């Protein structure tokens, strides 16, 4: 499976897709955070590799991309909703125009990633959000302590970092 991922990423790189705004998202992206940026390990990795396509896409015309991926052994197919995806025995390649909310897994990955984010940058970003969003983030992290008891210390640290902003603002 790792070899398939390597070949897919190489194909995207050779087509300049990452420079044109296409992003690797999902659990395979998170593996890079763990390996190269020091995020806490997250055990779940799916058998699909997800790419976020900017909308509207302003890059070059890549009409032969699907053919290139088929040459790597992938077959194209469509979901019931009509979305294109490619697959082989090891992996499924999915393309998304909007980031879909995968719920608990995304929240766990955000918590695991917290340790590698510069705290001042996080505080600045958090402070730029509307008050309702900030309140919603606090509430979500409070609920997360119950959902993920093994991450309780990380969540507390996350909350303290964000509360530091709140206290400074008062």
Classified by CATH at the fold level, domain 2-96 comes out as: Beta Polymerase; domain 2 (3.30.460)
Tens-digit pLDDT profile for residues 82-126: 778 999 998 999 988 754 475 677 777 778 788 788 888 888 888
* CA nearest neighbour of 110 among 57, 56, 39, 55: 39
Q: For residues 165 and 161, what is the distance between their CA atoms, to the nearest angstrom?
A: 7
Report the share of the chain in percent with pLDDT over 70.
91
Domain residue spans in the chain? 2-96, 117-169
C-alpha 19/C-alpha 135 separation (Å) is 35
pLDDT of residue 169: 52
Choose among 64, 65, 50: nearest CA to 96. 50
Q: What is the pLDDT of residues 125-152, one digit of tens each?
A: 888 888 888 888 888 888 888 888 888 8
Name the pTM for this structure: 0.60
pLDDT of residue 9: 93
């Amino acid at each position: 499976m790792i070899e398939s991922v390597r070949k897919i990423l190489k194909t995207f790189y050779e087509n300049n897709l990452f420079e044109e705004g296409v992003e690797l998202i999902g659990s395979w992206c998170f593996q890079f955070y763990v390996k190269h940026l020091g995020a806490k390990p997250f055990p779940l990795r799916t058998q699909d590799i997800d790419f976020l396509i900017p909308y509207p896409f302003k890059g070059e015309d890549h009409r032969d991309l699907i053919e290139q991926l088929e040459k790597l052994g992938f077959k194209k197919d469509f979901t019931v909703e009509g979305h294109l995806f490619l697959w082989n025995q090891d992996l499924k390649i999915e393309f998304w125009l909007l980031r879909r909310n995968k719920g608990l897994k995304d929240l766990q990955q955000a918590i695991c990633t917290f340790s590698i984010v510069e705290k001042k940058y996080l505080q600045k970003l958090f402070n730029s959000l509307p008050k309702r969003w900030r309140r919603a983030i606090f509430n979500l992290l409070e609920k997360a302590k119950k959902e993920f008891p093994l991450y309780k210390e990380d969540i507390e640290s996350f909350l303290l970092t964000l509360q530091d902003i709140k206290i400074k603002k008062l």
